Structures are given as structure tokens and as C-alpha cells.
Amino acid sequence: MQLCVALDLEEKSQNIDLLKSLKGFPIWVKVGLRSYIRDGRDFIEEIKKIDLGFKIFLDLKLYDIPNTMADAALECAKLNIDMMTLHASSGKNAMMAVMERLGATSKPPLVFAVSALTSFDSQEFQSIYNAPLNDHIQTLAKMAFECNLDGAVCSVHESKYIKKATDPSFLTLTPGIRPFSENNDDQKRVADIDGAKEALSDFIVIGRPIYKATNPKEVVERILEKIK
Ligand code: C5P
């Protein structure tokens, strides 16, 4: 299981300070909507220039028509990032178009399909998708698997079911992690590190419990110790 640290801070300089403080740890860093909209591709270039060996996960959760998705995915790949996301509910045609376009690149990133945001509980999910959360997540994950994506974004609670419905090699990436009983914030389907391990999560994503801590480095250390 690998740790992705979300770089969701208010200022680019704060993200850079956080990055530098985590030097030497075997982690991934996640650039999401806030940082990418504010700091753009320059931020990705800067992370690479600082050269701490962190793999880069660009979490833009693409959702559009197939041609636009494929074009956008190609632009992500040109940034030379290691992992990216799209929404499984954008459909099979869009996911296939993305994978076809990325397949023609020399070093395609891993592609993960968001099944259901971890901020949804089953009631909210039902009200949006008009389907039970657990069943529909498996349907979305199966669609992503059939389109040859690398894995699904889900909560810890669905990780095992997704692997069972697809294949053990189909990766799961689980946000909504609260390692040491921190506040859930806006996350609804949460779990701790032991839960993630038990659920066979391949990647865990953690933001606020790390970057809002008084000593983020110490929290990362404790998380990595638990992951072992
Ligand atoms: O601060 P927290 O640990 O809740 O952050 C989780 C991170 O994972 C955020 O950057 C959020 O955008 C991202 N994420 C998520 N749920 C998903 C996909 C991504 O929380 N389904």
C-alpha cells in the first residue's frame, strides 16, 4: 500500500514547504483542482525540479464528451505525470477514447476511474444516481476495468468488492482516510489505515490530517510506520 499526500494548501509556497519537509519519504504527491487551477503546469514542473523522487498524481477527475476527455488526457500525459483520474460515469466510450489516446504515448500515466466520491453517503448517492451505492460502484468499476483502466477510486469500504467484481490486479485508490481519529470534515465514507490494509487498498490518499497537523512530517512518519 502506498501513501499519496494531497497538496491542497492555500498557497503554492505552503505546498512547496510541505513537499520539502517530506524529503526522503517513499510517497506520492497529489496535485488536485485547487493547486492546478491556481498554479497550473508550472507547479508540476516545480515539483519535478525540486527532485525529491516523489511520483506525481494529477487528480483532475475528468468528465466530458469522449473527444474532449481524450484530448485532455493527452495533455495530462504530456505533463509527464505518473497517475491521473477521470469519472467512470463519463461512460465507456469516453474511457475507451482516453485509453486509446494514451496508448499511443510513450509513457502513459496510470488511469483511475472515480466511482463515487467519498463525500457521498448512500442516501446522497441514491438521490443523485437513483441506484444503491454498493451495486452501482461495482458496475462503474467493472466498466472501467473493461476499458482497461488501471484502477478505481473508491472508499475503503468498497475496495474488496471492486477487486472481487473485477480482478485482484485492478488497483484501488482510497481517499477518506482518517489515520488517527481526526475530524471527518466533509468525508462520509471514512476509514483508518488498518481498515485500508484489510481492504487491500493499493493507494491511500490523505490531505487534511497531514497538512493541517502541527507537524505534518511526524504524521507522515506515523502513517508510514502503520502501513508497513
Ligand atoms: O483532506 P482529505 O484527506 O479529505 O483529502 C482527500 C483528497 O482526496 C482531496 O484532495 C480530494 O479532492 C481527494 N478525493 C476525495 N474523494 C474522491 C477522490 C479524490 O476525497 N473520491
Q: Where are the alpha helices (DSSP H) in the chain?
A: 12-21, 33-50, 66-78, 92-103, 122-129, 133-146, 156-165, 193-198, 208-211, 216-227
Ligand 1 pocket, residue 64 CB under 6 Å: no
* Confidence (pLDDT) at 81: 98
Mean pLDDT on 191-213: 97
* Confidence (pLDDT) at 181: 87
Please state the atom number of ligand 1 nearest to the C-alpha of residue 185.
4
**What are the tens digits of pLDDT across the range 153-188?**
999 999 999 999 999 999 999 999 999 989 999 999
Percent of the chain with pLDDT over 70: 100
Pairing relationship of beta strands 151-153 and 110-114 according to DSSP bridges: parallel
19 falls in which pLDDT band (50, 70, 90)? Answer: very high
Closest Cα to residue 133, out of 141, 123, 143? 123
Ligand 1 pocket, residue 185 CB under 6 Å: yes
> Which is it for the CA torsion 192, 23, 18, 40, positive or negative?
negative
The correct answer on CATH 3.90.550.10 for the domain covering 2-227 is: no
Mean pLDDT on 100-116: 97
Mean pLDDT on 120-135: 94
Known catalytic residues?
A: 59, 61, 64
Q: In the predicted model, what is the mean pLDDT of the chain?
A: 97
Distance 195 CA to ligand 1 centre (A): 17
47 falls in which pLDDT band (50, 70, 90)? Answer: very high
Mean pLDDT on 179-201: 95
In whole angstroms, give the CA distance from residue 224 to residue 116. Answer: 26
159 in Cβ contact with 172 (< 8 Å) = yes
Residue nearest to atom 19 of ligand 1 (CA): 175
Distance 205 CA to ligand 1 centre (A): 7
Ligand 1 pocket, residue 114 CB under 6 Å: yes
Mean pLDDT on 35-62: 97
208: amino acid identity, one letter:
R
* Confidence (pLDDT) at 148: 98
Annotated binding site for substrate: 8, 30, 59-68, 118, 178, 187, 207-208
Residue nearest to atom 10 of ligand 1 (CA): 6
Residue 122 has pLDDT above 90, yes or no: yes
| Domain assignments of the chain as residue spans, ordered by start | 2-227
Residue 82 has pLDDT above 90, yes or no: yes
Phi and psi at residue 179, to the nearest 5°? -65, -40
Does the pTM of the predicted model rise above 0.85? Answer: yes
Ligand 1 pocket, residue 217 CB under 6 Å: no
How distant, in Å, are the alpha carbons of 132, 135, 174 from that of 123?
9, 14, 20
Q: Which of 10, 30, 118, 193 to mutate to test the pocket of ligand 1 (most atoms within 8 A of CB)?
A: 118
In whole angstroms, give the CA distance from residue 219 to residue 50. Answer: 22
Residue 144 has pLDDT above 90, yes or no: yes
Give me 110's grid cell: 496510470
Ligand 1 pocket, residue 32 CB under 6 Å: yes
